[in-house]
């Protein structure tokens, strides 16, 4: 039975409902890594944080399954990816969503499935959504960190490139070489796919400074099947949308979406104020709802639903062969939905341009590494240590000195969510400031350093007017850390004279909230 006030939407594969009647969507054109204008008539599948993060969700819920070993046995395993070996205080899982025309076992999708996914005939593989899951060694929490697909990073064998090109470009180049050397189609596909995965893993490790311990991959089909297996997922929109490039056509307010509709919901980025960042927020909200639904007794106690989930996982999920999933489940036995949090790596500029005129997302690896390290209190390669302190003993004032309206309150909420005590929240009455900062009586105060790390690596400045056991955060127009849509900040290296594009704020998201957060 539908919930009161909740719209339930259902449609046939390939058909989208509209307020103007039913229309059949045009066939999708594959997106390249080149900038594409809205008028070009193409759109990308936008490979879904929610889809790939579902792999972790299934792992977290698997402890309640009586036949979890059967589930694991159905999952395709891959080896020789160069994983593990780092001691950084956490288990780091790279989750990748792929746009593939085959299932996890290499079997072609049916015509109906390809039509449902709007999949074309190209053989290439896109990985436009990449998520790093950090699970501290005590297993009592998890953080899903989104990496924007257009992040401009070092890619092995390519130099600087968008991170979403690491897998596909490496795979296709290797595949062509193998075929030219006389390898069979099957051998070339297998070996080139491994090379693509290795290139992506190296790119993520270089950017974040961590060692990837485990690898999980899921296809778009998996996202659709998983969503349908739990009876759809509830979302909420601030306003109605009708965007044909993604197929997103939804009314405002709360509604429950099936798998195909959810695919459109999480891949839309055109006609959104913040483009890819708004899309990431949608993905994170959807993921939080999916986590919550999978963790309910209604799902875990339903053999039929568990069977559907098991079938979806077996067809669409790939894991590395060295991952002892049962041992990992034991480690995570105390994890609950409210302890699954969602972040985005710090970005310097959402609308940066390369010398060749390509639109990219500018990121500073040092800033990203400090942010990622701060999630578990580890030491970064440049010697900086994320301090371990009792957050409940630290009162944090948050003061707005030119950021977006309401930003101080949202950042304060993000900090209290990390265990800090709320102090004064309001406007900054001091002099003009050009960049966001943390103020403390002593610039070497570990409490101030901890707050600075949580907010993406802000600079700590000594201010004798700040009392002991209190830290003040001053937010300037450059701030885009937790409490905003992306965990970003200014460029530490100051290598560019261009002004970074400010990122409008959005509140933090976790999997323990009641009901869906309404989004753009």
Annotate 404-441 with b (16+ C-beta within 10 A) or e (fewer): beebbbbbbbbbebbebeebebeebeeeebebbbbbbb
Does the pLDDT of residue 69 top 80, yes or no? no
Quick one: pLDDT at residue 277?
75
Average pLDDT over residues 290-309: 75
Quick one: pLDDT at residue 457?
75
pLDDT tens readout for residues 215-266: 999 888 888 888 998 899 999 999 999 999 888 999 999 999 999 999 899 8
In terms of Cα–Cα distance, which of 127, 133, 272 is closest to 208? 133
Please spell the DSSP secondary structure of 165-211, one letter per residue.
HHHHHHHHHHHHHHHHTT--HHHHHHHHHHHHHHHHHHHHHHHH---
On whether the CB atoms of residues 30 and 122 are closer than 8 A, the answer is: yes
β-strand partners of 97: 129, 218
Q: Is the domain defined by 7-31+38-353 classed in CATH 3.10.50.40? A: no
Where in the chain are the domains? Answer: 7-31+38-353, 387-487
On whether the CB atoms of residues 195 and 168 are closer than 8 A, the answer is: no
pLDDT tens readout for residues 310-368: 888 888 889 999 888 777 766 665 665 557 777 888 888 888 899 999 999 899 998 89
Does the pLDDT of residue 86 top 80, yes or no? no
Lookup: tokens for 379: 């030491």
Quick one: pLDDT at residue 505?
42
pLDDT tens readout for residues 152-177: 999 988 899 999 999 989 999 999 99
Strands (E), 83-125: 90-99
Any idea which residue has 């959402």 for tokens? 350
On whether the CB atoms of residues 377 and 387 are closer than 8 A, the answer is: yes
In terms of Cα–Cα distance, which of 42, 43, 4, 56 is closest to 341? 56
Does the pLDDT of residue 503 top 60, yes or no? no
Lookup: tokens for 313: 């996982």
Quick one: pLDDT at residue 41?
31
Which CATH number is 387-487 given? 3.30.70
**DSSP strand pairing (317-320 vs 76-78):** parallel
Where residue 274 falls among pLDDT bands split at 50, 70, 90?
confident
């Amino acid at each position: 039975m539908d919930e009161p006030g909740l719209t339930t939407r259902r449609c046939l594969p390939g058909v989208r409902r509209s307020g103007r009647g039913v229309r059949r969507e045009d066939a999708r054109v594959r997106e390249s890594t080149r900038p594409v204008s809205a008028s070009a008539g193409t759109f990308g599948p936008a490979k879904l944080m929610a889809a790939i993060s579902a792999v972790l969700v299934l792992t977290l819920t698997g402890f309640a399954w009586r036949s979890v070993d059967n589930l694991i046995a159905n999952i395709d395993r891959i080896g020789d990816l160069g994983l593990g070996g780092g001691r950084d205080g956490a288990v780091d899982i790279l989750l990748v969503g792929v746009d593939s025309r085959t299932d996890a076992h290499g079997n072609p999708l049916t015509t109906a499935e390809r039509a449902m996914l709007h999949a074309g005939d190209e053989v290439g593989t896109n990985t436009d959504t990449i998520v790093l899951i950090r699970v501290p060694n005590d297993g009592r929490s998890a953080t899903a960190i989104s990496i924007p697909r257009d992040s401009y990073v070092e890619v092995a064998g390519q130099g600087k490139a968008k991170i979403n090109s690491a897998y596909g470009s490496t795979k296709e180049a290797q595949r062509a070489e193998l075929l030219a050397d006389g390898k069979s189609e099957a051998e070339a596909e297998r070996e080139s796919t491994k090379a693509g995965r290795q290139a992506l893993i190296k790119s993520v490790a270089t950017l974040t400074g961590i060692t990837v311990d485990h690898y999980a991959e899921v296809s778009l089909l998996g996202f659709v099947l998983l969503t349908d297996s739990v009876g759809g997922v509830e979302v909420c929109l601030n306003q109605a949308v009708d965007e044909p490039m993604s197929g997103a056509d939804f009314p405002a307010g709360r509604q429950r979406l099936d798998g195909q509709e959810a695919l459109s919901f999480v891949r839309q980025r055109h006609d959104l104020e913040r483009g890819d960042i708004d899309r990431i927020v949608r993905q994170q909200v959807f993921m939080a709802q999916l986590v919550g639904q999978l963790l309910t007794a209604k799902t875990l106690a339903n053999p039929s639903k568990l069977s559907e989930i098991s079938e979806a996982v077996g067809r669409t999920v790939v894991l590395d062969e060295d991952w002892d999933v049962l041992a990992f489940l034991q480690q995570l036995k105390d994890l609950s939905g409210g302890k699954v949090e969602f972040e985005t790596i710090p970005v310097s500029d959402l609308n940066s341009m390369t010398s060749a005129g390509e639109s990219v997302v500018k990121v500073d690896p040092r800033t990203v590494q400090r942010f990622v390290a701060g999630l578990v209190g580890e030491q970064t390669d440049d010697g900086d240590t994320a301090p371990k302190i009792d957050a409940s003993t630290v009162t944090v004032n948050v003061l707005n000195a030119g950021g977006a309206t309401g930003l101080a309150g949202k950042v304060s909420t993000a900090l209290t969510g990390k265990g800090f005590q709320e102090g004064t929240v309001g406007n900054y009455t001091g002099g003009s400031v050009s960049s966001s900062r943390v103020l403390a009586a002593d610039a070497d105060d570990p409490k101030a350093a901890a707050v600075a790390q949580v907010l993406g690596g802000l600079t700590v400045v000594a201010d004798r007017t700040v009392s002991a056991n209190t830290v003040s955060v001053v937010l300037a127009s450059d701030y885009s850390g937790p409490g905003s849509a992306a965990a970003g900040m200014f460029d530490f290296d100051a290598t560019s004279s261009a002004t970074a594009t400010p990122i409008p704020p959005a509140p933090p998201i976790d999997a323990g909230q009641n009901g869906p957060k309404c989004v753009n």
